[in-house]
Structure 1
Amino acid sequence: MSNSLIKVGPTYSNYNGTGSSASMTLTNSVSGTVSVTYSGSSNVSGSVKLVTLGATFGISAQASITATVGNSITITVPAGKTGNGDYGVWRAYVTGKEVYYLNNCTSGGSSASNVWAPYRVGWNTWIS
């Protein structure tokens, strides 16, 4: 499993021009919704995939998550550096192979399956 942030709104940045470290609070000003997407052939319903994804990787995978306005985070920015942050919805990416079985327990076939599932709202911050 890999994960990525689907950014909702702009990148927030602020330069610390002082001679010492300073706290910087970032507050998002945009809302948006990120929904699950699937690709590849599928023999299994989307809801079963989300439950399996959550149980396998210990996340709360959902069909969609909304990032709301007003979420804040405070970071410490060293002197002469810029604090940056992106706000949005983290999503998991899982690729796999579905195999289905016939009544006599023999394989009836298989197909590739990819899932991009949102699982939490949050920030990605960095110093530059």
Structure 2
Amino acid sequence: MGIRANRHLATSAAAFLLCVGMAGSAAAVQNADPTPVDDDTVVNTAPPTEPEEDVTDIPDEGNGMPDEPTYTPPPPKDWPNSEYCGPGHGYYKPSAQGGKYHRGVGPVNSNYNGSSRTARSTFTSEVTGEVGMSVSAGLQVSRDTLLVKIEGKFDVNLSAKLTAKMGNTISVDTPAKRTTNAKYGVYRLKHTGVSYYIYSNCQNSAHKTITSYSPYRVGWYIWES
């Protein structure tokens, strides 16, 4: 015997349905994008966390960043008979891998279950958008070099940018008297490292700690309120 749930639909750009029935598992169904599911079905207790550092999105032009840094510090005094290390060049060395950060594409979708039973909420993305990399100031190498260094250090697969597409659907259980919130977008991994410029006389510019956020998969971020 079916049970009709009272529900309030939050204004959003996504279409969603509420199907009410007896309590079941929290397993979800996802389609449309050929990306791995990973932890899309995990129900969090708060919205996605934003980066705390002062980072800037890398523009999508050419490599996303010039092969050489946009600003090279003035070289130290070139003493006679100083050692020669070849043409000056930038350097980056990753040191630590942090957590996962989700950047949404489109608005948050919310669904309230006003019934006394667990209900099924289905969300469908209706916006397509790209998410790229973000880095703090002072990086002395190109975007591609940064990715290669991080992938080699931590054995991960990263991308310069990923596209979250329209039409992806996910279904999760919404407890009685609770609201399920869903946002579709791109997960990015945080990394820290050091970057500096190596001059032709083998001396280095000041070392700069670099924080970067690099896309690694498309997916949903779910939380209850």
Q: Given the two structures, how large is their TM-score scaled by the length of structure 2? A: 0.50
CA RMSD of superposed structures (Å): 2.3
Query: Which has more helix, going by share of residues?
Result: 1
Residue type at the aligned position of 1:19: S
In structure 2, relative to structure 1, the CA distance for the partners of 1:27 and 1:58 (3 Å cut) is farther
Identity score, percent: 36
Task: Provide, for residues 47-77 of structure 1, a one-character-per-residue CA deviation record: whole Å limited to 9, x for no partner.
Answer: 1211222343443211111110011111111
Task: Provide, for residues 85-125 of structure 1, a one-character-per-residue CA deviation record: whole Å limited to 9, x for no partner.
Answer: 11111122323212566799x76343332322111111110
Query: Highest Rg: 1 or 2?
Result: 2
In structure 2, relative to structure 1, the CA distance for the partners of 1:46 and 1:16 (3 Å cut) is same
Equivalent pair of 1:99/1:107 in contact (CA under 8 Å): no
Structure 1 stretches of 4+ moved >3 Å: 55-59, 99-104
In structure 2, relative to structure 1, the CA distance for the partners of 1:42 and 1:82 (3 Å cut) is closer
Q: Distance in 2 between matches of 1:26 and 1:54?
A: 33
- Does 1:69 pair with 2:166? yes
Q: Secondary structure at the match of 2:212?
A: strand
Q: Structure 1: where are the runs of 5+ without partners? A: none
Residue type at the aligned position of 1:8: V
In structure 2, relative to structure 1, the CA distance for the partners of 1:94 and 1:33 (3 Å cut) is same
Q: Given the two structures, how large is their TM-score scaled by the length of structure 1? A: 0.83
Task: Provide, for residues 4-55 of structure 1, a one-character-per-residue CA deviation record: whole Å limited to 9, x for no partner.
Answer: 2111111111111222111111111111011123332233332121122234
Q: Structure 2: where are the runs of 5+ without partners? A: 1-97
Matches within 5 A, 1:1-128: 1-98=98-195, 108-109=204-205, 110-128=207-225
